[in-house]
Structure 1
């Protein structure tokens, strides 16, 4: 059965959809033979909608399971049997049953956050859910800073604060605020399939690939 990676946080606008789609793009770019599936469990269906607006099909499949109900976890594990990797885009709420159902079956939960107090508070709530459902195993969950400027004092302070009383690693890799991420979702592409020559494509690809590879390292699938 393929590995199941969840992208989850209870704060809307944390970048879950953008990260899930671009991670799928990274893994298929790194290995075109890899069978990758993105599952959209948010009722807004942004991942599903994005996958349908591109001029060319994405190199991975996107499926919507927002209405699966109590059987969501079972459906995800069943679908994972046919894929090498499944990335699940979760709803922006810890109170939505879909979020907990996904966390229960995930091999790894990636929690994206911005370097702001509001994001820190919402991330703490998400981490409490993860810890309650799957325990404090540092190989089962990680935090990634998204849309950040790593040279700011705010980033340094929030990063240090998130490391306190937190059993899960904070990824060394970070994702910057780049227009190409917004445009990729709106055009049904990823930074690995977006129009060549876009100025920010190369650094964006490097950022996402670094996150993708570091996730594999954390769970022991890469050195």
Structure 2
């Protein structure tokens, strides 16, 4: 059965699709059979992965037309893959998001490094909490900072807001820097892990994506172990 990772946030400009495509590529590069599912009617993930000169060695599926039935369509893919990454719509009123979260194992919530972006993300966090309480008790989740300026130290500010708002959501240590190479690989229809020619910042971007995937896997394992102990 595939491990299903939803990447979701209602706030535009958080790099949801960039994260989805590149973590899917990192899992594939690690030897996993991966499906990238585009659940967003805009279809950006599909256009990205299919627009390059070379076919990328991972499956990309456009399931947005399934609407609120997308969760069932995702479950049909379970037996065929090790990891499924789902690029969710950017609007919490879209019924596809709830349907995806109902079947997902983990939800990664990217946000830009600003207090304003975190406040606008609270509704997404509350939706995850509600889904966990009512329909999917095994759903774990975490926030991550994307498009980080190297000179900006926003992590502590974000943590202060999480505490002040009594939000128990975990914030990953891994951060994705603001790099031109992400836009360049998008334009080329490739990914950080599949591009084999020199681009400035490619090595650093690949390392930070791999760090994110590793930390995410470790966090998921720890939450599952904690949950198993609590029910044991």
Is the TM value for this pair above 0.5?
Answer: yes
CA RMSD in angstroms, aligned pairs only: 2.2
Q: 1:97 to 1:119 in 2, by over 3 A?
A: same
1:1-223 matched pairs, under 5 angstroms: 1-31=1-31, 34-135=32-133, 140-149=140-149, 151-164=151-164, 165-220=166-221
Classify the secondary structure of the residue corresponding to 2:175: coil
How far off its partner does 1:61 sit? 0.9
Bigger proportion of residues as helix:
2
Classify the secondary structure of the residue corresponding to 1:147: strand
Alpha-carbon distance in 2 for matches of 1:137, 1:206: 32
Please list the CA deviations of residues 36-91 of structure 1 after superposition, one character each: whole Å capped at 9, or x if unmatched. 00000111100011111111111211110111022110110111221000000000
Classify the secondary structure of the residue corresponding to 1:181: helix
Alpha-carbon distance in 2 for matches of 1:123, 1:67: 26
How far off its partner does 1:163 sit? 4.7
TM-score, normalising length from structure 2? 0.88
How far off its partner does 1:155 sit? 4.4
Bigger proportion of residues as strand:
2
Q: 1:95 to 1:139 in 2, by over 3 A?
A: closer
How far off its partner does 1:152 sit? 2.1
Which moved further from structure 2: 4-13 or 72-81? 72-81
Alpha-carbon distance in 1 for matches of 2:124, 2:64: 19
Alpha-carbon distance in 2 for matches of 1:131, 1:99: 13
Alpha-carbon distance in 2 for matches of 1:184, 1:90: 21
Please list the CA deviations of residues 88-145 of structure 1 after superposition, one character each: whole Å capped at 9, or x if unmatched. 0000111110111111111000000011233112211110000001149797000010
Alpha-carbon distance in 2 for matches of 1:153, 1:22: 24
